[in-house]
Amino acid sequence: MKFNNAIIAALGLSFAAIVMTPAASASATVAGTAKWNGNTGNLSSMCKFTKNVAGTMTFDEASNTWTTTSPAEFHINTRGNNNINVIAYEKLLQGSSEIADVQVDYQYDTVITGPAGLTINLNDDDISVAMNGKRGKLEFELGGTAVVTNDDIVFAANQSYSINHEVTCIQ
C-alpha cells in the first residue's frame, strides 16, 4: 500500500510538472520581448536646413539704425566635419531694389545653440561655425543692428525694407 502511495505521489509530481511546464512556457511567451534590430549603415556627411523663418526689425531715424525686434531663425541638421558660414548682404532692399548700404552688427543680438565642441566665430557681419566632427542640430537666432551708412536718405513713411543674409553649409 505504501508502494502504491509512493507511485501515486510520484505520478502526481510528474503530472504537476507536465501541467506546469506549458503554463510556464505560455507565461514566457506573454512576457517575452519582440524587437526589430537595425543598423543605420554607412551615413555620409549631411547639411540640412530644417527651419528658415524671416525676422522683423524697426527703424530709428535719429540714429539711422535698424534693430531686430525678433531674430531671423534657421536650423541646420549637420553630420560630419562641416563648416557653416553666415554672411550679411549689407544692402537695404526695397523689393529687389538696393536702396542703401548698411553696416550690420550681428554681435548685438545673435544666439547660436548647438552641440558642445564647436568652434564659433561671431563677428560684426559674418559668422563661422566649424562643427569639428560633431553632429546635431545647430540653431541660429540671427539678430542685431544695421546702420544705414548714407545720412542723406529720407525715408518715406510706412515703407517696407529688408536685409538679406546668406547661410552656407559645406559638407
Partner 1 sequence: MRFVKTLILASVFLSMGVQAHGMNPGITKVTTYKDISKMTYEVYNSYEFPAVYTMQVFTQDLTPAPESLYRFFDGKSVVRLKPNSKAKVDVLFKPEQDVSRFIVCSVLTGVSYEEIKPSITSRVCSRLIVERISR
Stretch that binds partner 1, among 7-15, 48-56, 106-114, 127-135 (CB under 8 A): 48-56
User: What is the Cα–Cα distance from 51 to 74, expressed in whole angstroms?
Assistant: 5
CA angle 104, 134, 87 (to 5 degrees): 15
Across 54-90, b (16+ Cβ under 10 Å) vs e yields ebebebeeeebbbbbeebbbbbbebbbebbbebebeb
Q: Taking CB under 8 A as the criterion, which residues in 72-91 touch partner 1?
A: 72, 74, 77, 80-81
Stretch that binds partner 1, among 12-20, 54-62, 98-106, 117-125 (CB under 8 A): 54-62
User: In this chain, which of 25, 27, 52, 121 binds partner 1, going by CB under 8 A?
Assistant: 52
User: In this chain, which of 39, 58, 151, 154 binds partner 1, going by CB under 8 A?
Assistant: 58
Report the run of H or E that residue 24 belongs to, with start and end: helix 2-31
Kindly list the residues in this chain that would bind partner 1 in the complex (CB under 8 A). 44-62, 66, 69, 72, 74, 77, 80-81, 96, 142, 155, 157-171
